[in-house]
Structures are given as C-alpha cells and as structure tokens.
Structure 1
Amino acid sequence: MEKLYYCLALLLSVLLIFKHFFHHRTKLPPSPFALPIIGHLHLIRNSFHQILECLASQYGPILFLKVGIRSILVVSSPSVVEECFTKNDIIFANRPRNMLSDISSYNYSTIAWAPYGHYWRSLRRLTVVEFFSLNSLQKSSNIREEEIHNLLSHLFKFSKSGTQKVQLKYWFSLLTFNIITRLVAGKRCVRDAVAGKDLGKQILEELKGKFVSNMPLNMCDFFPILRWFGYKGLEKSLIMLLQKERDEFLQGLIDEVRRKRTCSANINIVTNRAKTTLIETLLSLQESEPDFFSDTVIKSIISVMFFAGPETSAITLEWAISLLLNNPEVLGKLRAEIDDHVGHGRLLDDSDLVKLPYLRCIINETLRLYPPAPLLLPRCSSEDCTVGGYEIPQGTILLVNAWAMHRDPKLWEEPTKFKPERFEGMEGREGYKFIPFGVGRRACPGARMGIWTVSLALGALAQCFEWEKVVEDKMEMSQGRLTMSKAESLEALCIPRHSAMTLLSQLEDTSFI
C-alpha cells in the first residue's frame, strides 16, 4: 500500500511538470494573487463593487478572478464593455446557473434567467410589446399618477396633523409595490385604510420578504464538493420554503383574476381593455396558446415584475431625495423648471416629463452615483472568446462594474460630485460609460417604465412640498452592507408649499378596489 502512494505521488508530479512545461497556456487577463484551492474567495465581501474598483486601478479594466471551480471576468471600461456586448454579445447572452436560481426561477423559465434561445426571445418580445412599449406605458399612466397622488395625499394629511418628519423609505416602497401589484393584478398590495399603520408596514415587509433577496453567494456554486457534506443545507431549505411561499402568492393572484374573468364572462360583462392587467393579458394568451402559456410560465413572468421593478425604483427615489437635501440649490432649480412649465394650477403628469429636461438630468445623475445594480446581473460565456486581446474560457462569469465606470475620473469630471448639469444635452449619447439598466441583448426591458415612475414621483414631490433635513449636518450617504439601499433609512421634514395647498386639498382618496 505504501508503494502505491509513492507511485501515485510520482505520477501526479509528472503530470504537473508536463502541464507546466508543455501544455498550451491560455493568455488570461491580469489577476491578483490567488490562494490555493479557494482562489480569490477572500476578496468577495460586502461592497464587492468597490473592492473591484480598487483592483481595477491596480490591474486595469480587465480583471480575471478564480473562485473554486468558477472563473470570473470583471470589466470596468466602456471600450471593453462595448466589445463584450457587440462582438461577443451572443456568447455573453446567458446567465450562470446557481443554487438560488435552480430553486427560484421556475426551472430557468423567467426572462431574467432563461437561457438565450427561442424561448427567451419569445418572452422578451412579449414583455417589450405587451408591457413596456410606449403604447402600453401610456395606457398605464393613470395607475402611476393615481398612486403618486395617493402618496401626496398621505403626506399632506401627516403635515396637517402636525407630523412633518416622514420615514420616506417606507412610503417609496409602498408607492412602487402598489404600482406593480395594480399593473399585475389590479389591486393594491396595501390598502389606504391601513397604509399609514403598523399593519400596512407589516403587509409590505412580508411582500418584500418574498421578492427582495439579500442572500449572499452560496459557496456550493463555487465548491460543488461541499454539497456532499450538506454545506448550508439549512440555507437551501430556507430558499425552498421562501419559493413555496412566493409560488403560493403568485398562484393566488392568478386564481383570483381567473375567477373574476369567469364571473364577468358568466354575466356578460365586457372588460375595458384600457384597464386590463398583466395577468388578464397572460390568461388571454393562455386560452390561445395553452401549451406555451402554462400557469408556471405566467408565474415566471410576473415574478420578475416583483423582483426587478419596485425596490430598484424605491431605492433610486430615496437616493435622489437625499442628494437634493444635500444640494438645495439643485432642488430650487428643479422646482423653478416645474413651476415654469407646469404652473400651479395642476399636478404634473406623464405628458410633462418631456418638457422637464433638468428633472431627467437629476434622475440620470442619481443613477450614475448610486446605480441600483452596481454590478450588472452576471452573464456567462457559452464558448471560448477573446476580450481585449485576452482569451476567455467557456463558462466564465462576466461581471460589469457599472459603479466603477460611473465614477471613473477618466470618464467624468469631478466624478463623486452631484452635478446634474453634466447630462444636459447628452440625452442618448452617453454610450457605454453610463449603463444603469445594463446593455446588450439582456438589458432591462423595463428601463423606460422605471424612469417614468421615478421622474413623475420626484417631480410631484418637488412641486408640492418643501423638503428639509431633520438635522443640520450633511445627509448620511453610506450604502447598505449587501444592497445599494441607504444604510440609514431616509427621514426628512415635509412641509406643503403655499402654492400647492389648493391642489393638495383637492386630492381625493384614490383607493382602488
């Protein structure tokens, strides 16, 4: 037996020497020092995008990492990003598989995680045409406007009761989740009767808990051998339990809408197409194509609406108000633009947004400084390719560090300073240096909806209220440990503007049943 061990050791040594001297060595991008077996695992910590930004300053805009069995390519320059998503766009059109998606993506049938191919293209075409096209967004403008008016009404009631300090994080999340649930199922997630109470906050937190995940990377995705030992088996069980609750919630929405459709058909009620919900549209398609539009596919589609839409918009609103509180001269300039183009006789609406370029500059500058996804959703190479002259193996995870590019002093003057004016005259010409919604074939299809929602809400809040900091010091702008949300929830003093008192008084309760 002892001789067998010596023979195995000798054989292994010969193979390693042969590989070192005779095997073709791939020209990989620069890489920091890696530890045996675990590779660069020690670099993956909180604020990973900032760690990668520091590494890019040392090793350049193309960085290669190794964690266990997985290779990771990190890019952080517009020219390299352009090469990835033009020359290699199809190669990088897939998502990497992982344990979380194995459980929660309905067997990779969601548009966010489905493999690139005919099925994904069909879903993409459906979502763009039916839900995110200009025509569809115009049809749903009444929902966004009603929910924003409802928010204004709540804030006005608080101010009249003498409560001027407002926890805006909750109200922004409530606004965006109510918009999504009305678009998806035709009802609010939290009704007006309980919106400002502890019960309303509890309902919202339970809904967010189903779709807003702060789970860190699972090591089994990088070290499969850990699965043999049941590593983090408890975490897997929790993910499965969460997916079960999420699935029951989504199925409940579908069944409720299906029952209403059946009742309406039985009593010959004609549905107003302008008010058709996303689920109603999908159920209509199910009738014509039952093999494709199964309940599972419908759940996979509406789950992405809850995953991707509400919280990113709420986070952007929270950062935007924080930035305006720290820069009151910008808030004053925005308010002047709104007063000049909209006036004091009505509240601004979707049709006004095109006439408010400075408002859009503020949104863009907020997204530049605090992109909701500082590292774009990962891609995975389907075959070997070259990027920047380096050879990239098949199966490499691609991470685009939008955070680093948005704050690169080579690309932006005074990159850490809040200067909305930098976007004046740049609309549509930012190129690959400004990519808060991703780029390429898998860029976010709901970008326009997100921009309209945030712009309309921010504009209405500036039009109707004076905003002041709770304390005289600068607003704290540190980030959360695992997400791009603010580390400290935003509190601000909300005071109705004298010129908006009549408008606010006329706002009716926009409860939706």
Structure 2
Amino acid sequence: MVMEVSFSHALLLASLLLLLYLLSSRGKNSSNGSIPSPPALPVLGHLHLLKKPLHRSLAALAVRYGGGRDGAGLLLLRFGTRPVLLVSSPAIAEECFTVHDVALADRPGLASRRLLTGDECPSIASASYGPVWRHLRRIATVHALSAHRLSLTTSARDAEARAMARKLWRATRGATAVSVKFTAFEFVVNVIMDMVAGRRMEEDEVLRFKAMTEAGFAAAGAANQHDFLPLLRLLDFGRTRRRLAGLAKERHEFGQGLIDEYRRLHHRHGVVGAVTEDTTSTPAQRTVIGDLLRQQEGSLESYADVVIRTTCLSLLQAGTDTSSSTIEWAMALLLNNPLVLAKAKEEIDAVVGTSRLLEEHDLACLPYLRCIITETLRMYPIAPHLAPHQASSDCVVAGRQYIIARGTMVLVDVYSMQRDPTMWDEPNRFIPERFEVGIDEDGDKQVVRMMPFGMGRRKCPGEGLAWRTMGVALGVMVQCFRWERMGKDEVDMGEGSGFTMPMVVPLVAMCQPCEEMNEILKRI
C-alpha cells in the first residue's frame, strides 16, 4: 500500500514537471538576437544559480556568462517560466528608458504582488502601465510630492527633526547605544504620516508598521521563487499564500483605519461620509486624506476608499524603508570614515552654527552633506535592481543588435553600474568629494551617470521628498550628536537580500549629545 501511494505521488509529480517544462518552453524568449545566456535546467531555468544577496549573485552571473564588463552588458536568464533580462550597461539602460520608455514602462504581474494587495488596486510602484497607474501617480504627485506641495510641508519636516533630536537627547544623557535604522525610520514615517493624515505615530505603532513594511518588501522581491514556479504556488510550500493573505489583510486594516479615523475627527454633521476642514486654513495644514475625501464627494468612483488606501500606503511604505535604509548606510559609512564625518560636522557648524537646529532650508548651503548622501546612493542604491520592468512589445536595442522580446522581465543592475571601475575611480571606496562640482578640460561641468531612483516615466516620484528627509535627518544627527562605533572594529558593511538592500547586521552605534548643542537640545 505504501509503495502504491509513493508510486502515485511520483507519477503525479513527474506529470506536473513535464507540464511545467512544456509551459516553460512555450514561454521561452526565442527572438532575442544573440544575448548571452547560461545553460538552463528544465522547469527551474536559472533559479538554481541564484544565491543571496541576489544583486551580487546576478552580477557574478553577468561577469561569468555575459562576457564581463567588456561584453554586451546584457544577460538573458529564465526564472522558471519567465524570461528575465539583466541590463548592466549604462548606455543600454539609458536607451531602454528613453527610446523604449513606453514599451518598458509595464510591470510584471507577479503572483506575490497580487496576493499582497488582495482585492485592492495595486500600489503606484507595482501597477501596470495604463490609466490606473496614471491616476494613482497624479494623485500622489499633486497632493503630496510636487515641488509646490513639498515646499508647503517644510515646517512639518523641521518639526519632526526637532522631535527626533529631542528623543535622542533624552535617551542619551551619557553615551548610549542607539538603533540608527529605527531612529531614521521613526523620523521618516512620521514625516510622511503628517503629510498623509496630519498626525504622528506612537512608538509601538511605528514598530508594527515597520514590521509590516519589511515583510511586504521581502515577499515581493524579484527572488521570490513562488512567482516563477507554479508548482510551489499550487502546493503552497512555506505557506507563502497564507502569509501574503495575512499581510494583505493587515495592510487593508491599517489603510482603512487611517481613513475612518480621519472621518471621525473631521465629520460634517448630517452628511454621511463627508468631511470638512476650516476653509481659512493654510495649504500647509492640508493632508492627502483630507484632499482625497473632499474629491470623493464629487467623484466617488475615481476617489473610492480603495484608491485613497492605495495612495496612502504607497506613500508610507515606499518612502519609509527606502529613505531610512539610506540614512543607515550613510551613518555606517561615516562611522568607518571619521575624517568625512568630521568634515561634515565642520560644514554644518560653519553654515548653521550651534545656536539653532539645522532646518531644511539650510540644505542648499550644505553641498558636502549632499555629496555624502549621493556617494551613499552610489555605493548602496536604494533598490539595487530598481523595480522590475516588463516589455509590452518587442524592443531592438544597442544599435539593433539585440531584441528584448515582449513579456520579458527587465532588471537593471544599478548596483554594478555604479561601481564599474571603467566609470569610477576607486569605486569601492567612500569618497564624497567625487561629487563636488568640478570643471573638465573643456570647461564643461562633469556629468556623472547615476540612477538610484530609476529613470523615465516609472522613475520614483518621491525622489524630491527623499532628498529632503534624508538631508534633514542626517544633518541633525551629525550636528547635535557625537557618533562612535560600538567597538574598535569597523562597522560590518555586509549587504542583505531584499528590495531595499538592508544591512546584514543592523547598525547600532554609540550616541552622545555634543556639548555645544546641549543648551539648544534642552529647549526643543
């Protein structure tokens, strides 16, 4: 009896594998010119070659099978049934998002992302290219991310910087170990929460939101094998489907809770679901939810609760983990390069002084601080492969040498491009001075090619907000506190796997208020 059951299971598994192999053969990119590609296995394709962290594994494959840096700058892979193109050439990447920007503006319809959103509409970052994406992006830009709206919310970011400095000062009367990532995350999430809902989060709420955000990014990464192997989804190995469904429910409840809370606090008596705010209030006091609920009164379908939830979650989740991770990487680099940290402190003291706290308007006068953040983004880009793109039609690239076939998922190896020794001097060294404005022999400003926020129409719409939040947070940390490593050894700069490339060992550093800032910190 046992042998009969085992044989039946083996026969079923063999049939499924044969079916998957046939499906994978049908989905194979057969019109790809001569794009290099390593040998593949049936069903798995090249998934067996992927290791953690994914960005380093793919870079190694490109060097081994794609001819290295002198090769085509393209590598064709197959993740299960899906063709995947890795682009490591800056010139071809630029061509993809200029000449072929529309054809490559789509997103792959990955199963994990559908499960993560449940019955909700997709996030701005993951939505397919079309009317829904354009509507969501327009809403986020107009009501939160435009230059005009950002200038109106400057005071809120300065207030959160004061709150961060105050909390650190109270916790570090002497030298105290501080979690840099959580400190940065709490600052950024409250900056965006103020824009979205006009309120702050309590620490326990921040912790829950942080866990939910990190779990979502981990589940929706390009290395999730459940997205590429139907058998794994069918059998639900690791209970991935159940875990994603739980996350989808948690996201729904969090987003709807923000809307319901806002309605309760701003309810107009006698009109169900309507909200009002003081018409004499300044634009800086407006919120994303308030704006969209007023729009909802005139157009329920275009501004339904699901649209408002999606917009708010897109702003909060996309903006918090990315910016706080960059702040953490920047502080780790500064701790390993104390001369750079001292130079940054000198610039801030010279421009801002010690009689007041650094504010957002000071950032324009702190070029070296911006160089530090730029160099951090070069070495540790927010998303080492950007968000995956998908070809909606065939594209011919690199002087008509290669064809990117319709349905191919495209990953851009920003991490490798921004460390390419043919483009950067000493690419693995932290040298912020490389971004100081210089003049070449022809008298033109040096142009450096970087794309940590992406390129083209799917470029991150929150880039402006990210620069402001990262600059204010890092500037206040350096101005007000003395930071040291936990021991004599350098900070571990190991890179983990994930959409936002976390540190393998989260950064904990010794923090102590600067004596010259004590009086200011006491009063804030």
Q: Please give the range of the TM-score, normalised by the shorter of the 2 chains.
A: 0.7 to 0.9
Query: Within the alignment, does 1:82 sit opposite 2:94 as a pair?
Result: yes
Query: Under a length normalisation based on structure 2, what TM-score does the superposition of the two structures give?
Result: 0.85
Instruction: Give the counterpart of 2:514 among 472, 497, 503.
Output: 497
Change (3 A) 1:391 1:107: farther
User: Which residue in the other structure is 1:12 paired with?
Assistant: none
List aligned pairs for 1:162-177, cutoff 5 A.
Answer: 162-177=174-189
Q: Are the equivalent residues in 1 in contact too, given 2:140–2:315 (CA < 8 A)?
A: no
Instruction: Give the counterpart of 1:298 among 308, 312, 315.
Output: 308
Q: Offset at 1:401?
A: 0.8
Q: Offset at 1:481?
A: 4.0
Instruction: Give the counterpart of 2:240 among 232, 235, 240.
Output: 235
Change (3 A) 1:240 1:471: same
Q: Are the equivalent residues in 2 in contact too, given 1:102–1:108 (CA < 8 A)?
A: no
Q: Are the equivalent residues in 2 in contact too, given 1:476–1:488 (CA < 8 A)?
A: yes
User: Which residue in the other structure is 2:504 paired with?
Assistant: 487
Instruction: Give the counterpart of 1:313 among 311, 323, 327.
Output: 323
Q: Are the equivalent residues in 2 in contact too, given 1:78–1:432 (CA < 8 A)?
A: no
Q: Offset at 1:269?
A: 6.4
Query: Within the alignment, does 1:289 sit opposite 2:272 as a pair?
Result: no
User: Which residue in the other structure is 1:144 paired with?
Assistant: 157
User: Which residue in the other structure is 1:209 paired with?
Assistant: 211
SS in 2 for 1:131: helix
Change (3 A) 1:340 1:51: same
User: Which residue in the other structure is 2:78 paired with?
Assistant: 66
- Alignment-mate amino acid for residue 343 of structure 2: K
Query: Within the alignment, does 1:390 sit opposite 2:402 as a pair?
Result: yes
Q: Are the equivalent residues in 1 in contact too, given 2:154–2:360 (CA < 8 A)?
A: yes
Change (3 A) 1:153 1:265: farther
Q: Deviations over 1:49-103 (max 9, x none)?
A: 1122222223131110012220001101210101111111100000000112212
User: Which residue in the other structure is 1:96 paired with?
Assistant: 108
Q: Offset at 1:307?
A: 2.0
User: Which residue in the other structure is 1:440 paired with?
Assistant: 456
Instruction: Give the counterpart of 2:228 among 191, 212, 222.
Output: 222
Q: Are the equivalent residues in 1 in contact too, given 2:31–2:403 (CA < 8 A)?
A: no
Change (3 A) 1:26 1:349: closer
- Alignment-mate amino acid for residue 320 of structure 1: A
Q: Are the equivalent residues in 2 in contact too, given 1:406–1:434 (CA < 8 A)?
A: yes
Q: Which moved more, 1:494-503 or 1:319-328?
A: 494-503
User: Which residue in the other structure is 1:57 paired with?
Assistant: 63
Q: Are the equivalent residues in 2 in contact too, given 1:479–1:485 (CA < 8 A)?
A: yes
Q: Are the equivalent residues in 2 in contact too, given 1:341–1:355 (CA < 8 A)?
A: yes
Q: Are the equivalent residues in 2 in contact too, given 1:324–1:330 (CA < 8 A)?
A: yes
Q: Are the equivalent residues in 2 in contact too, given 1:99–1:218 (CA < 8 A)?
A: no
Q: Are the equivalent residues in 2 in contact too, given 1:108–1:115 (CA < 8 A)?
A: no
Q: Write the distance in 1 (CA, Å) between the matches of 2:460 and 2:229.
A: 30
Change (3 A) 1:219 1:323: closer
Q: Are the equivalent residues in 1 in contact too, given 2:175–2:512 (CA < 8 A)?
A: no
SS in 2 for 1:492: strand
Q: Are the equivalent residues in 1 in contact too, given 2:266–2:277 (CA < 8 A)?
A: no
Query: Within the alignment, does 1:450 sit opposite 2:466 as a pair?
Result: yes
User: Which residue in the other structure is 2:38 paired with?
Assistant: 32
Q: Are the equivalent residues in 2 in contact too, given 1:172–1:314 (CA < 8 A)?
A: yes
Q: Are the equivalent residues in 2 in contact too, given 1:66–1:72 (CA < 8 A)?
A: yes
Instruction: Give the counterpart of 1:188 among 190, 200, 209.
Output: 200
Q: Are the equivalent residues in 2 in contact too, given 1:49–1:403 (CA < 8 A)?
A: yes
User: Which residue in the other structure is 1:466 paired with?
Assistant: 482
Change (3 A) 1:431 1:377: farther
Q: Offset at 1:345?
A: 1.8
Q: Deviations over 1:313-368 (max 9, x none)?
A: 11111111111111111111111111111122211111111111111000000111
Q: Which moved more, 1:382-391 or 1:415-424?
A: 382-391
Q: Offset at 1:223?
A: 3.0
User: Which residue in the other structure is 1:9 paired with?
Assistant: none
SS in 2 for 1:72: strand
Q: Offset at 1:374?
A: 0.6
- Alignment-mate amino acid for residue 210 of structure 1: M
SS in 1 for 2:52: coil
Query: Within the alignment, does 1:248 sit opposite 2:260 as a pair?
Result: no
SS in 1 for 2:456: coil
Instruction: Give the counterpart of 1:476 among 455, 471, 492.
Output: 492
Q: Offset at 1:26?
A: 4.6
User: Which residue in the other structure is 2:17 paired with?
Assistant: none
SS in 2 for 1:66: strand
Q: Write the distance in 2 (CA, Å) between the matches of 1:433 and 1:43.
A: 30
Question: Unaligned 5+ residue runs, structure 2?
Answer: 1-21
Q: Deviations over 1:428-458 (max 9, x none)?
A: 9886831111111100000110111010111
Q: Offset at 1:226?
A: 4.8
Q: Are the equivalent residues in 1 in contact too, given 2:375–2:432 (CA < 8 A)?
A: yes
Q: Offset at 1:28?
A: 4.0
User: Which residue in the other structure is 2:334 paired with?
Assistant: 324
Change (3 A) 1:109 1:36: closer
Q: Write the distance in 2 (CA, Å) between the matches of 1:88 and 1:431.
A: 23
Q: Deviations over 1:215-253 (max 9, x none)?
A: 2644343233555x4333821122112111210111111
Q: Offset at 1:152?
A: 0.8
Query: Within the alignment, does 1:43 sit opposite 2:49 as a pair?
Result: yes
Q: Write the distance in 2 (CA, Å) between the matches of 1:257 and 1:158.
A: 32
Q: Write the distance in 1 (CA, Å) between the matches of 2:232 and 2:510.
A: 51
Query: Within the alignment, does 1:156 sit opposite 2:169 as a pair?
Result: yes
Q: How many percent identity over aligned positions?
A: 40
Query: Under a length normalisation based on structure 1, what TM-score does the superposition of the two structures give?
Result: 0.87
- Alignment-mate amino acid for residue 239 of structure 2: L
Q: Which moved more, 1:289-298 or 1:97-106?
A: 97-106
Q: Write the distance in 2 (CA, Å) between the matches of 1:335 and 1:400.
A: 35
